[in-house]
Structure 1
Amino acid sequence: MSEKEIYQRVEEWLSRMTLEQKIGQMIQTERMSITPEEVKVFHIGSVLSGGGSSPGENKPADWVKMNDAFWAASVEEDEKHLPIPILYGVDAIHGHNNVLGATIFPHNIGLGCANDPELVKKIAQSTAREILATGVEWTFAPTLAVARNNQWGRTYESYSEDPEIVKSYAGAFVEGLQGDLKTDSVIACVKHWVGDGGTTYGIDQGDTDISEAELRKIHIPPYIPAIQAGTLTVMASFNSWKGDKLHGHKYLLTDVLKEELGFKGFIISDWDGCDYLNADFHQTVAQGVNAGIDLFMVSEKWKPFGESLNQHVNSGNVKPERIDDAVRRILYVKIKYGLFEKPRPSARYWSNHESFGGSAHREVAREAVRKSLVLLKNENDLLPLKRDARIIVAGKNANDRGHQCGGFTVAWQGVSDSMDEESDEPASKITTAYGADAGVQRGKIIGGTSIWEGIKAMSPKAELNINGNMADRSRHDVGIVVIGETPYAEGMGDIRQGDETIAEMATKIKGLMKVLHPYGHSLVLNELHPEDLEAIKNITNQRIPAVVVLLSGRTLIIEKELEESTAFVAAWLPGSEGQGVADLLFGVYDFKGKLSFSWQKKAGENFRKGDEPYNPLFAFGYGLSYSNNTEN
């Protein structure tokens, strides 16, 4: 269908719509806050799943059944309702990570070290098919943040501190998701527009206090290839720019993104994003609409939102032309995607498809693991290991698929899925729908392998001892210690030295702040997780050389851990395929990953490529290999 034909259809639908129907199309709410019947009655345009929010037993069939019900309600036509199908959205940011049994790919920080746009495109294509297997059409990905301070809890969602790497991935990921916008495609949503990676002190949802020249040099460039690749949606960011919140920033949302850059699709708010524009909910509705947001992610208060927007239009605070512009954009996306022609979710080609979590997708994920790991140290050519070596494997992250997947996996904050040495039963603490604790559940990372399981498959003589206290030089030739961070997401991953930084931001930001409890107060690993160094020393004190594998969503201060190690690997958050880590440790493949972030020596440092002076522990682009055990 040509662009002309698409816009003709848009105008045909728009001409038939009442104000209430238009407002309904501008609302997206969480699945637990609405019924299929309400979707029809209120003409709702979109529904989403928040982190950890899933139907039934959280299997693809449960998702398809749910989406069938929402779709059927949205397309039922009568004298009060037009048959406009809904879009269902999810945060499938490293695979279809909400759903049990999905293939979980490395988080973006690891993929940035691979510096391989074609790999990223393959990941996006695999992710699209797993999304389609659940009857879903839309993912809030890719994230195009250029993280500049790794105290930020979302650093792992950034490919690099260098906008050039992020730019090289942006179009490839969008193309991988959207393809030809037919059977194999889902809708992409690039986020978060704009500057989310540049906040002062790395505070999530904080203030990016930089010049417009720097904003255009560092943070805007990745969006240009994404728009050129045809991304259909963009998500507004929670951060502010020079004190003004992006959700109410007409210049950046409308003047720059829509008009200057020529973005044709629609802008969606982040989770209740407009609520923080000021304390008056009624006023925030008008602020967001007038700034240029088209579809509003409203987790619970979607009825008051609709009522408020109706009042604003009737009182003249919001012009009918702005409503029509928003709905045109929403209809444009739905028509261009072919949503009106698609059958009900259960009848679509990929629904409940056996490829979900299957071997083909997992092999792509395993390849991504192999290409993303960075070898930082390899004294005496300890690596690669011999398969017949007597190996003791230790560290809290050695046998925990939840930890190696990180945040945004099954639950918003991720899960612990550790297998202790007494039981085969993994325990997982689940956090649902952005905060509600659902207690301890069992076995939540289904499929894939832990790093320990990958090592054991390679080396039958390997033994698991989490704290390493059974290390014995007479019984063990080498130790592998898998250490690092535990899962977190968004502001709960922030590192903050004290509350004074929040107080400082509060004086600069015009509006409200959403402050979450931080992950810690220091980037020094030994202060965050002293148990890691203890496990390493339990092995090295026995004069056994140690290979340390670090799982983390950012670079950390690792002076003591690095000193104790003979070999050191940055594995980032590799996802469900821990076997890919073992592939490298045993030399089945060589290391190829190069740092996409500069690695600081000590607390307080924040070196970035191009800085003067520039004196990090490991420079941007550093990475060893077996073929050349020096930086290459």
Structure 2
Amino acid sequence: MTTVRRESGAAYTDPAVPVSERVADLLGRMTREEKLAQLGSVWAFSLIEGGRFSAERARPVLRHGLGHVTRVAGATNLKAADVARVANEIQRFLVTETRLGIPAIVHEEVCSGVMAREGTIFPQAIGVASTWEPELNRRLADAVRAQMRAMGGHQGLSPVLDVVRDPRWGRTEETYGEDPHLVARMGVAFVRGLQGDSLTEGVIATAKHFVGYGASEGGLNWAPAHLPPRLLREVYLHPFEAAVREAGLQSVMAGYHELDGIPCHGNDELLGDVLRGEWGFEGTVVSDYFAVDDLHSYHRFAGDKRQAAVRALTAGVDVELPATDAYGDALAQALDEGEVGEAQLDRAVSRVLRHKFELGLFENPYVDETAVAVTVNAAPHREVALEIARRSLVLLKNDGMLPLRPGTGTVALIGPNADDARHLLGDYSFAAHVESLMQARERKGLLGQTMTIPDDLEIEESTDGVRTVRDELAARLGDRLRYARGCDVAGTSRDGFDEAVAAAAAADVAVLVLGDRSGLTLGATTGESRDRSSLDLPGVQEDLVRAVVATGTPVVAVLVAGRPVGGDFLHENCAAVLLAWLPGQTGARAIAEVLLGEVNPSGKLPISYPRTVGQIPVYYGHKVSGGRSHWHGDYVDSPVSPRYRFGHGLGYAPFVVERATLDRAEVMAGESVAVEVTVANTGDRAGEEVVQLYIRDPQASVTRPVLELKGFARVSAGAGERTTIRFDLPTDRLGFYDRNMHYTVEDGHIEVYVGFSSDGHTHAGTFTIMSPAYLGRAQKGVRSL
């Protein structure tokens, strides 16, 4: 029998009552079992039988309620309309079959769009960062918000705000790169787009992985990060702080790793003192998947599951994902034994309930199942994906071969990524995670963790609607295109080399589409837990490049990859190199358009491109003493400079900086300096450029980087045209953490540079920051993010 369980007249059921009072009223009515249920979660597939919600499976799991449902879209094989239906059925069960009728939050992965069978697959985050256009990221997140809400989702596990300077790390592709300012701007834009103007219509953004996860030892996933306090504050915490203070971020996911001996899920200094105390964060902290128990089973930081639960809850982890484990019986036992107090339990439950009220779930727990078809992967969302893909492509090198001229004869298309739609997608695309579920069912686990996937769960791979580079070039070149795969992404077989060489030798130009296969399984070469000790192309792809170049036919290399890849031979001997990252469902079209000159490439590197792994870490914002200018300078066997510098990216329309000026030479602390820049398109076609603003503090009480990015703007101009832009540079953005770890803006000189990369810049001028009394005093505690 179905009956509404909510108590009539209860304050928590009245939308006119302030949220804080509704939370307090509901909390006061809850039993301990019901409170604990709000801190837990359940895999959506465990509630489904035969493609439909199963009340029989749900009853023992949901009898006291539930905090989160994990991936109704991303952990099943359901189409969008069925996702909405199942989400509604889960909510209906919770509303009508539990005592207090508390709906659940449905969370999904949204690293490159909603990880759903029919969701729009956007370029991977590293590609979005290559656009250097935060507004595009906001539009991406706005599309994700619409699709999630249509399917019944409420919380997205993004943005990834990890600053990464070691591309061996497999999750490099999920990040916005190496610079804290660029990462912060991209992150703030994403949070604003996803959360919207109000959570009633928005989706909670979950910034991850708090904090320093991308600075792992040896570039290895889950490894410790060795970050001194000042570096941690100025670089790795900065994007999270900006998301909290500027965008009102509502959720944070703690990292798997440890900092100075303390795992992040048990780090009360980070989660309490910094995140909540200093920044005023009021949202929820969620665990990374399985990470509460990892305090015991992986880190040996806790003696058992119960102690792991105590340490996580005490530190400030509010919700355990992806399924209730340590926050179930183990936490209940700890409460019984007085190892953790009821007040700490109530604190976490209150945060979860507040989000449910703010999301409007008590008034509107269901979605319109008939509206899904016109929202999920709608045409405007595909257009956003295409616009991002076009602007994400980075032309690393061009000896004049690109764009391919209309008169170009036969084109040989070669390589493992030339005709494979799956290889265009990132590690948190739906296709990649279907593979993870299949592997988990075969091995009875995921990422080394225990989990049970029902045998009746239908799982099948799908790349419907994703065209390949071969598809797009064939549509444009017709019978002038010749295709040969050559080899696989990984593996040792050279059986396809002869066909590839023959195709290249008979062609006027050879286009090699090479790179990675992204995912979490053993067959992937990039992605979560797919770290590499080499930046050469996987498998025998480097040998394929040598074989094709040896034909004497000019070669254009297209790298579809999740990190900087390719050895010396490729970058030195190919006539052009185009970096496509993992460009998503419209990526092949963008690649074809750029190759043929229909679109002018305008992407810029958000991460320095090493020559070899022996240089790592290599990044533009190093210190003066960073070894780049010592006695002999270079390594014995290699330059110290990267292959391509941060901010680098060529186009078909050359731009120059004609003029760059400051509006003043002296400025009081707390004020701003205006930087005006005029750039000109000196080419014979329209184009776009990204103007980058850097500063250098030449002498300070704490050593500073040789350059720091402080602003950027994408500009467009027709052939022969010029345009002028203005940057406002607040002095409180120019501070640092002093010897006492106080954020400080010191008196002194600041040098300003503008240009199109971190090494191709013009000195715009120098200004002096002065304290109000002109006495050299520092202004403390004021910061612009």
TM-score by length of 1: 0.87
Contact 2:434 2:460 in 1 (8 A): no
Contact 1:414 1:488 in 2 (8 A): no
From 25, 35, 38, the equivalent of 2:38 is: 25
Q: For residue 590 of structure 1, what is the amino acid of its counterpart?
A: N
Asked if 1:403 is matched to 2:412, the reply is no
Q: Please name the residue that 2:354 is paired with.
A: 332
Contact 2:81 2:373 in 1 (8 A): no
Matches within 5 A, 1:234-249: 234-249=252-267
3-state secondary structure, aligned to 1:207: coil
3-state secondary structure, aligned to 1:342: coil
From 559, 565, 586, the equivalent of 1:556 is: 565
- Sequence identity (%): 29
Contact 1:196 1:205 in 2 (8 A): yes
Matches within 5 A, 1:438-457: 444-457=462-475
3-state secondary structure, aligned to 2:513: strand
Q: For residue 485 of structure 1, what is the amino acid of its counterpart?
A: D
Cα deviations by residue, 1:264-291 (Å, 9 ceiling, x for unpaired):
1111111110112124112111111111
Q: For residue 560 of structure 1, what is the amino acid of its counterpart?
A: F
Q: For residue 523 of structure 1, what is the amino acid of its counterpart?
A: L
Query: Structure 2 vs 1, CA of residues 518 and 579 (structure 1 numbering), >3 Å: closer, same or farther?
Result: closer
CA shift, 1:181, in A, is: 2.9
Matches within 5 A, 1:108-119: 108-119=125-136
Query: Structure 2 vs 1, CA of residues 458 and 183 (structure 1 numbering), >3 Å: closer, same or farther?
Result: farther
Cα deviations by residue, 1:347-372 (Å, 9 ceiling, x for unpaired):
5xx85232322322111111111111
Q: Please name the residue that 1:58 is paired with.
A: 78
Q: Please name the residue that 1:5 is paired with.
A: 18
Contact 2:435 2:521 in 1 (8 A): no
Q: Please name the residue that 1:297 is paired with.
A: 321
Asked if 1:374 is matched to 2:394, the reply is yes
CA shift, 1:305, in A, is: 3.5
Q: Please name the residue that 2:692 is paired with.
A: none
Contact 1:148 1:202 in 2 (8 A): no
Structure 2 CA distance for aligned equivalents of residues 434 and 104 of structure 1: 23
> Structure 2 stretches of 5 or more lacking a match?
1-13, 48-56, 298-303, 487-498, 629-639, 657-755, 758-785
Asked if 1:524 is matched to 2:548, the reply is no
Matches within 5 A, 1:434-583: 434=446, 444-460=462-478, 461-467=480-486, 469=500, 471-472=502-503, 475-489=506-520, 518-525=530-537, 528-530=538-540, 532-577=541-586, 578-583=588-593
Contact 1:51 1:408 in 2 (8 A): no
Query: Structure 2 vs 1, CA of residues 331 and 305 (structure 1 numbering), >3 Å: closer, same or farther?
Result: closer
Asked if 1:598 is matched to 2:608, the reply is yes
Structure 2 CA distance for aligned equivalents of residues 53 and 495 of structure 1: 21
Structure 2 CA distance for aligned equivalents of residues 490 and 206 of structure 1: 19
3-state secondary structure, aligned to 2:400: helix
Q: Please name the residue that 2:678 is paired with.
A: none
CA shift, 1:443, in A, is: 5.8
CA shift, 1:71, in A, is: 0.5
RMSD: 3.0
Asked if 1:164 is matched to 2:181, the reply is yes
Asked if 1:209 is matched to 2:226, the reply is yes
Structure 1 CA distance for aligned equivalents of residues 138 and 589 of structure 2: 22
Query: Structure 2 vs 1, CA of residues 473 and 309 (structure 1 numbering), >3 Å: closer, same or farther?
Result: closer
Structure 2 CA distance for aligned equivalents of residues 589 and 486 of structure 1: 26
Structure 2 CA distance for aligned equivalents of residues 441 and 140 of structure 1: 22
Query: Structure 2 vs 1, CA of residues 84 and 2 (structure 1 numbering), >3 Å: closer, same or farther?
Result: closer
Query: Structure 2 vs 1, CA of residues 137 and 83 (structure 1 numbering), >3 Å: closer, same or farther?
Result: same
CA shift, 1:389, in A, is: 3.7
Structure 1 CA distance for aligned equivalents of residues 505 and 428 of structure 2: 42
Query: Structure 2 vs 1, CA of residues 66 and 393 (structure 1 numbering), >3 Å: closer, same or farther?
Result: same
Contact 2:41 2:67 in 1 (8 A): yes
Contact 2:163 2:176 in 1 (8 A): yes
Q: Please name the residue that 1:419 is paired with.
A: none
3-state secondary structure, aligned to 2:296: coil
Asked if 1:616 is matched to 2:636, the reply is no
Q: For residue 191 of structure 2, what is the amino acid of its counterpart?
A: V
Query: Structure 2 vs 1, CA of residues 389 and 157 (structure 1 numbering), >3 Å: closer, same or farther?
Result: same
More off after superposition, 369-378 vs 132-141: 132-141
Contact 1:430 1:440 in 2 (8 A): no
Q: For residue 611 of structure 2, what is the amino acid of its counterpart?
A: K
3-state secondary structure, aligned to 1:375: strand
CA shift, 1:534, in A, is: 3.9
Structure 1 CA distance for aligned equivalents of residues 73 and 258 of structure 2: 24
CA shift, 1:529, in A, is: 2.3
Query: Structure 2 vs 1, CA of residues 247 and 567 (structure 1 numbering), >3 Å: closer, same or farther?
Result: same
3-state secondary structure, aligned to 1:529: coil
Structure 1 CA distance for aligned equivalents of residues 440 and 429 of structure 2: 10
3-state secondary structure, aligned to 1:238: coil
Contact 2:505 2:552 in 1 (8 A): no
Structure 2 CA distance for aligned equivalents of residues 517 and 610 of structure 1: 27
CA shift, 1:603, in A, is: 2.6
Cα deviations by residue, 1:110-138 (Å, 9 ceiling, x for unpaired):
11111100000011111222222322222
Whose relative contact order is higher, 1 or 2, with alpha carbons under 8 Å and at least 6 apart? 1
3-state secondary structure, aligned to 2:163: coil
Structure 2 CA distance for aligned equivalents of residues 51 and 238 of structure 1: 24
3-state secondary structure, aligned to 2:59: helix
3-state secondary structure, aligned to 1:133: helix
Contact 2:542 2:567 in 1 (8 A): no
Contact 2:292 2:308 in 1 (8 A): yes
Contact 1:110 1:372 in 2 (8 A): yes
CA shift, 1:53, in A, is: 2.0
Structure 2 CA distance for aligned equivalents of residues 376 and 415 of structure 1: 32
Q: Please name the residue that 1:318 is paired with.
A: 340
3-state secondary structure, aligned to 1:94: coil
3-state secondary structure, aligned to 1:102: coil
Cα deviations by residue, 1:64-99 (Å, 9 ceiling, x for unpaired):
122112111111266xx11111011111210112x2
CA shift, 1:472, in A, is: 4.7
Contact 1:204 1:490 in 2 (8 A): no
Query: Structure 2 vs 1, CA of residues 194 and 3 (structure 1 numbering), >3 Å: closer, same or farther?
Result: farther
Structure 2 CA distance for aligned equivalents of residues 61 and 495 of structure 1: 32
Cα deviations by residue, 1:513-547 (Å, 9 ceiling, x for unpaired):
xxx9755442222xx221x2344344433322111
From 232, 235, 251, the equivalent of 2:250 is: 232
TM-score by length of 2: 0.70
Contact 2:469 2:589 in 1 (8 A): yes
Cα deviations by residue, 1:150-181 (Å, 9 ceiling, x for unpaired):
11111111101001101101111011111123
Query: Structure 2 vs 1, CA of residues 358 and 389 (structure 1 numbering), >3 Å: closer, same or farther?
Result: farther
Q: Please name the residue that 2:736 is paired with.
A: none
Structure 1 CA distance for aligned equivalents of residues 193 and 470 of structure 2: 32
Q: Which of the pair has more CA radius of gyration? A: 2
CA shift, 1:471, in A, is: 3.8
Q: For residue 522 of structure 1, what is the amino acid of its counterpart?
A: S
> Structure 1 stretches of 5 or more lacking a match?
417-427, 497-515
Contact 2:284 2:351 in 1 (8 A): yes
CA shift, 1:183, in A, is: 6.5
Contact 1:28 1:47 in 2 (8 A): yes
